[in-house]
Structure 1
Amino acid sequence: MKSSLFTNTSLNRDKGIETLRGMAIIFMVAGHVIGSDYRSGLKVPDNSWFRYFYYSFEYLRMPLFTVISGFVYAMRPISTSGEQKKFINRKIVRLLIPFFIAVTLLCVFQAITPGTNAKLPFDKFWRAYVFPYAQFWFVQGIFIVFIVISFLEIAGAMKNLKGWLLIFLASILLFYTDLIKITLFSLDRVPFLLMFFLLGLGMKRFYSKLFNNKLIAVCSLLVFLMSIGYQQFLYFNEGAENHNVVSLLTILVGTTGAFLLVMMRFDSPALAWIGNYSYEIFLYHSFGTAGSRIFMKLLGISNLNVYFAICLIMGIALPILFRIICGASPLLTTILFGERRNKNREHIKVKQKEAAITTTPY
Structure 2
Amino acid sequence: MTQTNKNSHIETLRGIAILLVVIGHVIGSTPEGGMRIDFPSPWRYLYLWINYIQMPLFTAIAGWVYALKPVKAGSSGTFMKRKAYRLLVPMAVAATLYFLIQYITPGTNQKGNLADIWRIYVFPYTIYWYLPSLFLMFAAIRMIDANKWMDKFGGWAICLVCAFAGLVVQKIFLSNGQIPNLFSFMGAMAQFPYFVAGVGIRRFSKQIITHKTSVALSSLAIVGVLSLQLEWFYPAVSKDLLYGLTRPLWVMATLALLLSQSYSSRLFTWVGSYAYIIYLYHGFGTSGGRIILNRLGVSSEILIFMFATAMAIFIPVILQRIANRNKILRFLTSGT
Match of 2:127 in 1: 135
Q: Any conservation in 2 of the 1:182–1:188 contact (CA below 8 Å)?
A: no
Q: What is the distance in 2 between the residues matched to 1:31 and 1:234? A: 18
> CA–CA distance in 2 between the matches of 1:182 and 1:293?
33
Match of 2:327 in 1: 330
Tell me if the contact between 2:15 and 2:272 (Cα under 8 Å) persists in the aligned partners.
Answer: yes
Deviations 1:88-136 (A, max 9, x none): 0100110111011001100111011000001212111001110000111
Aligned to 1:256: 253
- Residue ranges of structure 1 left out of the alignment (5+ in a row): 1-8, 340-362
Q: Distance between the aligned counterparts of 2:262 and 2:53, measured in 1?
A: 15
Deviation for aligned residue 1:64: 0.5
Distance 1:120 1:263 in 2: 42
Partner residue, 1:274: 271
- 1:16 maps to which residue? 9
Shifted more, 180-189 versus 284-293: the winner is 180-189
The equivalent of 2:22 in structure 1 is 29
Moved more, 158-167 or 188-197: 188-197
Indicate the residue corresponding to 1:83 in structure 2. 75
Residue 315 of structure 2, aligned match among 314, 318, 325: 318
Q: Deviations over 1:54-112 (max 9, x none)?
A: 012322111001000000010000131x1100100100110111011001100111011
* Residue pairs, 1:50-199, within 5 angstroms: 50-80=43-73, 82-178=74-170, 179-180=173-174, 181-199=179-197
8 Å contact kept, 1:296–1:307: yes
Alpha-carbon separation, structure 2, partners of 1:214 and 1:10: 27
The residue aligned with 1:343 is none
Measure, in 1, the Cα distance between the counterparts of 2:235 and 2:5.
47
Please report how far the alpha carbon of residue 311 of structure 1 lies from its aligned counterpart in structure 2 after TM superposition. 0.9
Tell me, in whole angstroms, the C-alpha distance in 2 between the residues paired with 1:20 and 1:59. Answer: 15
Aligned match of 2:204 in 199, 203, 206?
206
Deviation at 1:208, TM superposition (A): 2.2
CA contact (8 A) 2:224 2:247 kept: no
Superposed counterparts of 1:225-264, under 5 Å: 225-264=222-261
With the length of structure 2 as denominator, give the TM-score of the two structures: 0.94
SS of aligned partner of 2:51: coil
Q: Point out the structure with the larger helix share.
A: 2
State whether residues 59 and 249 of structure 1, in contact with CA within 8 Å, keep that contact through their aligned partners in structure 2. no
**Contact residue 35 and residue 43 of structure 1 kept, 8 A:** yes
Q: Bigger shift: 131-140 or 12-21?
A: 12-21
Q: Which amino acid aligns with 1:310?
A: F
Shift of 1:249: 4.9
8 Å Cα contact 1:79-1:156 kept in structure 2: no
Residues 269-308 of structure 1 mapped to structure 2, 5 A cutoff: 269-308=266-305
More divergent stretch after superposition (180-189 vs 214-223):
180-189
Confirm or deny: 8 A CA contact 2:108 2:287 kept in the other structure: yes
On the 8 A contact 1:69/1:200 being kept in 2, the answer is yes
Separation (CA, whole Å) in 2 of partners of 1:127 and 1:30: 27
Structure 2: segments with no counterpart, 5+ residues: none
Which SS does the other structure have where 1:59 is aligned?
helix
Query: Residues 126, 243 of structure 1: CA spacing in aligned structure 2 closer, same or farther, 3 A cutoff?
Result: farther
Displacement after TM superposition at 1:13 (Å): 4.9
| TM-score w.r.t. length of structure 1 | 0.88
The CA RMSD measured in Å over matched residues stands at: 1.5
SS in structure 2 of the partner of residue 135 of structure 1? helix
Decide which moves more: 233-242 or 276-285: 233-242
Distance 1:322 1:229, change over 3 A: same
> What secondary structure does 1:43 align onto?
coil
Whether 2:17 is the aligned partner of 1:45: answer no
In structure 2, distance between residues paired with 1:155 and 1:168: 15
Post-superposition offset of 1:246: 4.7
Match of 1:215 among 182, 187, 212: 212
Matched residues in 1 for 2:220 and 2:245: separation?
12
Q: How many residues align?
A: 329
